[in-house]
Structure formats: C-alpha cells, structure tokens
Structure 1
C-alpha cells in the first residue's frame, strides 16, 4: 500500500544532567532486554505485530522495568526484526535470530512530548525526564522547518546514545501534495560501493581510500592477539586501552568518510543514497571482523546524517554488482580479473572495479523503482558527468557545474564540516 506521507528526520543532541543520564541509560538497557525477550518468545512461532504483542507483552512487562507503552513498542520492534529475517530467508539467504545490542530506544507520541520552549519529555524506567534540545544557535537551523511548522507532525522517533552523548532522531511526517503523490518515486540516486581497497566509492566517482584503514586494522588485530595470548592482568589493561584507541580512530575515519558520501549526495542534489545489502558483505569482500563492523557503522553514520538533510538511505541486493558491466549489462566472472580492475569481455569497456559496482548498485535501485506498479515518473542515477536512466537517456550537468561548485565558499565549507 502506498505511503500517503512525506517523512523526514530531524536530529538534535539532548542536554542531560547526571540523574537524567542514569535514567536514560537504564531505559536503553531495559529496552534491549525487552526486545530480546519478545524475539526469543516469538522467533519460532510468530511474524506479525498482531501475533507477538499478545504473546510477549505480559512477559516483557513482568521481567523488565519498561512502562506499558514501551513494552508494546518492544514487541513491535521484535516483530519488525523477525519479519526482516523471514524476507531474507525467502530470498534464499541464511538468517539467525536477531539480537539487540544497539544503544537505542524507540519513542512514540505517548512516550515523548515536544514543547514550544525547545524541550522534550521522555518516558524512562523511573519517571519522565524533560531535557532541552541542543539546537543550533541560528534560527535557520534545518530542524526549525519541522519544529516550528504546523504542517509537520511528530511521529515515531529514536533516542540514540553515542560517544557519551544522547541524540534524538525526531520523526516528522506530513501529507503528500497531489504532485508528490504522482512523483513519489522520482529522484536522483547516488550509488555507493564499500570495499577493502577503497572504503567507499560513489557513482559520481568520489573515492575514499581504504588502504590505511586496512593496514591499521591488521596491526590492531596483531597487537590484540599478542595481548590475549599473554593473558596477564597488565596485558588485559593494555588490551582495553588499545581497544579504546582503536575504536576512537576507526570512528573518526568513518565519520570523515560518511561526510564525503553525504556531501557528494548534496552536491549532485540526490534524493536517495543506495548501498548494497550488507548482510553477507564479509564473505563477499574477504573482510575482517573489524571491516564488517566498520561497514555497518559507516552505513549507520551516513543514514543519520543523510536523513537530517532529507535524503533517504536504502539497500539493494548485492548479486553480481561486482561482475556486471555497468555500460552494457554483460555479466561474467571474467569481467573482474583482479580486485581493482574491471574489463568487460563483451563491450571491452574498462573501469575501476569499485566504481563499476557503485554504478550497478545505484542503477539497480533506479530499475526497481521503474518496475513498481505505482510508478508515475522517472528517476535517474547520478554520475560525475550527468545523470542517466535505465533506457540510456543521459542528461549532462550544465556547463561550469564543476567550477561553480568549487568556487562557492559555502560548498567548500560543507565539504569539511562535521
């Protein structure tokens, strides 16, 4: 069924005191436990909200400190996770029972209230806490277009703990206009490929090198293995310190990489950023455990930054994106003789293998939209030189596009801003 709403997410940090921090931390812990309890109970028997809520609600209420509405939301979260697994299983993919480790809590209009004085009231396991929203000083911060508008209504939102801070991803929605109803799936798509040699490559030929990260992850793993073999108390303390430094370093690398991707989408006025399905990316790329974690963290960082700019982030199936020629569509193992090279055996076009994959990923999403029965218009894939449609229609960027972008100081600032 078509969604009759336009949805946006406004992200803001919360200003919390010590007691509020304790309440929020306990709520996050109990939320994860409640979601896991509901999932454990329903994994072998249920797959719908209507089934899981009556099955698991009483147990979640009895065995956690969650309030009644949060217990209901926890059963819904479990249902969504189980449904996602069933969909992947129906596509021939291996799945395992979901586990809930992310430091998040879902809120709805019963458990969260926004006030006109830029504060928010949140239900916790103890009592409601009322926290100021740490909004930008400027009145024209992007959050204002939603917070100060009668047109946008608050909907389901997410509280996330990250690096000692708390961020509220506030969901908003408004009814689509008649024009938006007819062109809901139109837009410009940015494809993104993740890998080892290049951490990320976009369909607009923006490359984020992964060589240094790969080298450093290997070195970290060697150090960690040595300390684990030593097994002394001193080695354990050193291991904890090393792991903390590694985590901070990798997060910083991913933070800068996610900025590159989101800024590239803004530069080319993209409506959607598309990644390949990350489910089996470790097997496809030969990545280490550290890389797999990095890929997922990068995706999550891009998602929350992009959604703050009104850009959707999606995933598509990964089958043959690395072996299919983005120019003619011919697919063969021989097309990719090395990790970095792509040479089509049919049309003889040559390209960087990751760049070719990024274009395939983006175009797969465009094609999927065109095959929708609801489709009324056209979408296109963003390239460095212009935009292209599945039928081969090409629209070049205006003359001077590159120079215009590079000459504008505010664009330069956005390239380096956090």
Structure 2
C-alpha cells in the first residue's frame, strides 16, 4: 500500500550531448501529445487508469512515436489529471479539460535505469540515451543519501526541461518504520504557514521574511521585460543567463528558509512539521512569483532535510486557517483585518495573521491524530512558550527555556544548504 512508504524526490541536472538533447526534447513533445490525446478521449467518460488505458492506448501508440510503456504512462497521466478536475469540481471549483503544456515527461523503472556509476538510462522516442548525473562533488550531497542507500529504491520520476537544461526529479521510496506509522498520533508538532510578506511563519513565532526576495524578484522581472523588448540575439542570451541567475537565487533562498525551519523544529524537539495543503496555495497568496513551484520546492527541501534528522513532514487541509481564531476557534472573514493583522471579532484576541494561521495548521494536525480510527493520538502543538493539546490545555516550558530561546527574535539563519 502507498501509505506504507516514505517517499522522497532528489533533483539533479543531466549532462547531455546535442544528439541526446534532440531526442529528449522530441520525447517531451510526444509525451504532451500522448497525454492530451488520452485526455481528449476520456474527458467526460472515464477517470480511472484501468478504464482510460484500454480506451486510449492504441490511439496513443498509433498517433505518437512514444514507446509502449510511455504510452501506458501517458494514459495514466491523463487519468490522474481528469481525477484532479473531478475532485476540484466536487469542492465547488470551476474546471475545464486539462491541457498539457509543461515541458516534462514521466519515467518509471521500465523506462529509466539509474546506474552505480552515476549515470541514468532513459527511454526516448527512438532509442535509450545514457547521461551522467551532474551530482555535487561533496560526498554528503543530499542526492547521495538516496542513490547510495540500500534502503531507498527508485520509483516513478519526472524529467523537466528548463532554460536549455534537463533536470531529473528522481523518485525514491522506502518502507515506513513502526515509529513512523504512529507519528500521526504522537509527538510534538510544529505548524508552518507559507506566504509572501513572510515566506514562512511557525507556531513558535519564528518569522522568515519574504520582503527581500519579493523585491529582488521584481527587479529580475524588470530586467527580463527590458531584454524581451529588445529582442536581439545578444539580448536573448543575456535573458537566458538572467533566468538562470534568478533560478539559482530563488533556490538559495528556499534552501536557507528550509534550514531555518529544520533548526526551529529541532530547537523545540518537534517530531512533525505540518504545512497546509499546497494544491491551491498560488490562488491563496495571489503573488506573481509565489507560484506553486516555489512553495512545493520549499516543502520538498524541508522534507528531505527533516528525514535526515528523524522528523516527519505532513500536509493538512488549508480551509479557513487564515480566518479561524487560534485561541477560541471562532471563524469569520472579518477576523482577518488585513494581510498582516488578525483580530477575532468574538474573543478579541489579536496578533499577526500568519502566526495565527501557523498555529491553526499545527493544531489541525494534532486534532487529526486524535480523530484517527485508533483514537490513541497524544500529540501536542509547539508554541513560543509551551505546548498545547486540544483537551489538556497549555503546558509551559521549564524555567529558563523561554528566556533562552524566545525572549529575542530568532535571526534568519544563513547556513548553506
């Protein structure tokens, strides 16, 4: 069962020749066509993989140059996309037939092989290509903890083309330990809210500001717009260089933010870091740069770093976390005074809106454990000055703990990734 596995993703760039580049680009193009063809055939009829595959497989094989296994994967991708639309529609969201424009292609263990010599073999529309993985020189690079492990096994992965480069998002999985199976019901939880004004805020009142990164990304956008307007070949090259610099900058920010969240979880002896569900976060934040990729990448960075120190990372439903009072539980739109300010119209509690949301996210995870089928949950939410349980109330930290850790604001940590 899927719930019996811990899953991780390790991202690495591929070193490709010009010939390999052409084959991979053609495979991505045909993959998008195959997914679209299967979706067009199944839309309004089927959404289960077991139904979409026999319906569309022959057509995908005939009308594209995809191999047999990639044709199967394309029908599965179409089924997943249609299922996602059905789920959004059930929640009152407007949906339309999925279109496949992203420069990606899925791989599984039949279409991809990772070798011990740090190369990978990938199926294309013509033949397999074998490319070196551009791994960090350091032996402790995070990808190696999965690639060199006998515990982790390779599973479904995704190849992405971006700015003239190819990046392989290698999926790994391992069986959960007995302790990890019980994590949802026991332990200390750190709630985390993601946003724009503050990139991340925790239930322990740690704020990682997003103002600087927002400003810098706006400057990148101005430069990009000017180069696009110029339109010369030289401007195009400069544009590609600028895009790569922007990507590196954002990744560096996300690495530093993830390090800070791990440090906070360790400081308060947390077993779980709880985020809100990321599915609709772009709509919630309303930011031009705060797209799903950035927040999901931050989540993945926290996930793999947390795993190395024995902390689980989970997601909970995001509904009303910004409108609910973390003190009395009263929920109303009027509670959210502005982007930064929260004041409960019922009990009068007030404070930073992102901090209030972080506490709600963490407490939602705590309650989920108590409402599990076994009813054995005994988790607690980490706050700035103590911990809290839904029924047992607040427990302050021992004398000296708060003074040592929370009397002054935590600096944003600048350690490398």
Whether TM exceeds 0.5 here: the answer is yes
Q: Match of 2:137, SS?
A: coil
Aligned counterpart, 1:302? 298
Q: 1:358 to 1:242 in 2, by over 3 A?
A: farther
Aligned counterpart, 1:417? 416
CA distance in 1, matches of 2:224, 2:142: 43
Aligned counterpart, 2:360? 360
1:9, 1:307 within 8 Å by CA — same for their partners in 2? no
Aligned counterpart, 2:14? 14
1:128 positional shift = 0.8
Q: Match of 1:3, SS?
A: helix
2:386, 2:394 within 8 Å by CA — same for their partners in 1? no
Aligned counterpart, 2:78? 78
Q: 1:170 to 1:413 in 2, by over 3 A?
A: farther
1:10 positional shift = 3.0
Aligned counterpart, 2:125? 125
Asked if residue 279 in structure 1 is aligned to residue 280 in structure 2, the reply is yes
Give runs of aligned pairs for residues 218-237 of structure 1, distance below 5 A. Answer: none
CA distance in 2, matches of 1:115, 1:221: 40
2:205, 2:384 within 8 Å by CA — same for their partners in 1? yes
2:282, 2:292 within 8 Å by CA — same for their partners in 1? no
Aligned counterpart, 2:254? 258
2:274, 2:316 within 8 Å by CA — same for their partners in 1? no
2:43, 2:97 within 8 Å by CA — same for their partners in 1? yes
Aligned counterpart, 2:96? 96
Equivalent residues, number: 403
1:375 positional shift = 6.5
Aligned counterpart, 1:409? none
Structure 1 segments unaligned to the other structure (5+ residues): 406-411
Asked if residue 160 in structure 1 is aligned to residue 156 in structure 2, the reply is no
Aligned counterpart, 2:333? 333
2:322, 2:353 within 8 Å by CA — same for their partners in 1? yes
CA distance in 1, matches of 2:92, 2:335: 25
1:150 positional shift = 2.9
Structure 2 segments unaligned to the other structure (5+ residues): none
CA distance in 1, matches of 2:333, 2:111: 52
2:384, 2:402 within 8 Å by CA — same for their partners in 1? no
Q: Match of 1:363, SS?
A: helix
2:13, 2:167 within 8 Å by CA — same for their partners in 1? yes
CA distance in 2, matches of 1:227, 1:7: 41
1:64 positional shift = 2.0
1:260 positional shift = 4.0
Structure 1 stretch 51-60 or stretch 295-304: which is displaced more? 295-304
1:49 positional shift = 0.4
CA deviations 1:53-101 (Å, max 9, x no partner) are 1111122222222211011111111211221221222223322322333
What TM-score results when the alignment is normalised by the length of structure 2?
A: 0.79
Q: Match of 1:294, SS?
A: coil
